[in-house]
Amino acid sequence: MEAPELSEPSNQMQLKDLISKFWEKVKENLLLWGINVTLLTSSVYMEVFAQAATRPFSVHDIAISYPFVINEKYDNLNLVIISALLPLIVMTTLILVDQVKGNKVKRFYHTVSLFIFCMSINGFLTTFTKIRLAKLRPDFLARCGPLLKKDEMKTGILYGDEICSAPFGEFILKDGYKSCPSGHSSVSMCGMLFLSIWLYHSYGKKLKNDNNKNLIIKFLCFAPILIAIDVITSRIYDFKHSYNDVICGTIVGILSVVIPVHYYNLKDIEGEEEIILPV
């Protein structure tokens, strides 16, 4: 009597297979991924190494006189985890475990490639605009640490950063010129909005509005946006940005998702029997 055949492996093996086939598709689309890598590396370079144009300031300007908060609610590492890793983990897990008919490899590749493209565009636009605008952060004077004595701080006089002692370091001082648009706002909104749209069009859109359960599921598809709102508002009470900064950042994040998603679907998904990405 022949031994029963072992069933094909679990989701762990499926994930390994998905990733393997994903890299095969990446090799077939080197132009797209070349653009992604270029945009991401440019964003990181501008954020870490590029210096924004300096501008004169008044030591009596209340708008830039807030204290410097060291322990932010969402630091850069938390931002990356929440806005990039979390959506990728959620979408990958759902693709693996759901029972939707279709090519999972294709769905996984289209989802990840579009998500990375949106995040790349968002990162580049945000960092480039920050450097060009060179708007002072609300806590700029705390970063500067003016060397002037009180009787030397004259009203109506504009100073440059040559009067700064940079008590938190030169990098923190230079970062004080990168207030608008808010990077945390744009990145969190980009990541969470993409996840929300993906969840809705993958699951929520297919449900009828005939019972409370379906309506709740549709609402929960957009719950990730609440996380983005929490990140965005934290930048105000951490004194890293003004209201205008976070509004501009939010707009950049929204546009970085809406425009690529719309264009991508029109060109590549139209005509498919089953919608596998947001429309």
Answer yes or no: is 129 within a domain: yes
Answer yes or no: is 17 within a domain: no
Comparison of pLDDT for 266 and 258, the residue scoring more: 258
User: Does the structure show a pLDDT above 50 at 12?
Assistant: no
Are residues 188 and 253 in contact, defined by beta-carbon separation less than 8 angstroms? yes
Instruction: Give the Cα separation of 279 and 261 in Å (integer).
Output: 7
| 156 pLDDT tier (thresholds 50, 70, 90) | confident
- The predicted pLDDT at position 267 comes to 37
Instruction: Give the Cα separation of 40 and 119 in Å (integer).
Output: 8
Answer yes or no: is 30 within a domain: no
Comparison of pLDDT for 135 and 201, the residue scoring more: 135
For the chain, the domain total comes to 1
Domain that holds residue 259: 52-67+102-268
Answer yes or no: is 115 within a domain: yes
User: Does the structure show a pLDDT above 50 at 275?
Assistant: no
- Which two structure tokens, joined as six digits, stand for 1? 């009597």
- Which two structure tokens, joined as six digits, stand for 63? 């708008």
Query: Is-cis flag, bond preceding 181, omega within 30?
Result: yes
Tokens 């077939």 map to which residue?
A: 28
- The predicted pLDDT at position 211 comes to 73
Instruction: Give the Cα separation of 93 and 130 in Å (integer).
Output: 35
User: Does the structure show a pLDDT above 60 at 270?
Assistant: no
DSSP one-letter string for the chain: -PPPPPPPP-HHHHHHHHHHHHHHHHHHTHHHHHHHHHHHHHHHHHHHT--PPP--B-TT-GGG-PPPPSS-SS-HHHHHIIIIIHHHHHHHHHHHH----S-HHHHHHHHHHHHHHHHHHHHHHHHHHHHHH-PPPTTHHHHH-B---GGG--TT--B-GGGB--TT-HHHHHHTT--SS-HHHHHHHHHHHHHHHHHHHHTGGGS-TTSHHHHHHHHHHTTHHHHHHHHHHHHHHTTS--HHHHHHHHHHHHHHHHHHHHHHHHHHTTT-SS--S--
| pTM, two decimal places | 0.86
CB contact set of 193 (below 8 Å; sequence gap of 6+): 224, 225, 228, 253, 254, 257, 258
Mean pLDDT of 149-157: 79
Q: Give per-residue pLDDT as tens, 91-143.
A: 999 888 876 556 788 888 889 999 999 999 999 999 999 999 999 999 999 99
- The predicted pLDDT at position 4 comes to 45
Mean pLDDT (the chain) is 86
Mean pLDDT of 164-178: 95
- Which two structure tokens, joined as six digits, stand for 89? 């983990």
Phi/psi of residue 199, each to 5°?
A: -60, -45
Answer yes or no: is 78 within a domain: no
Answer yes or no: is 23 within a domain: no
| 204 pLDDT tier (thresholds 50, 70, 90) | confident
User: Does the structure show a pLDDT above 50 at 278?
Assistant: no
Answer yes or no: is 42 within a domain: no
- Which two structure tokens, joined as six digits, stand for 97? 């475990």
Answer yes or no: is 37 within a domain: no
User: Does the structure show a pLDDT above 90 at 16?
Assistant: no
Mean pLDDT of 192-219: 82
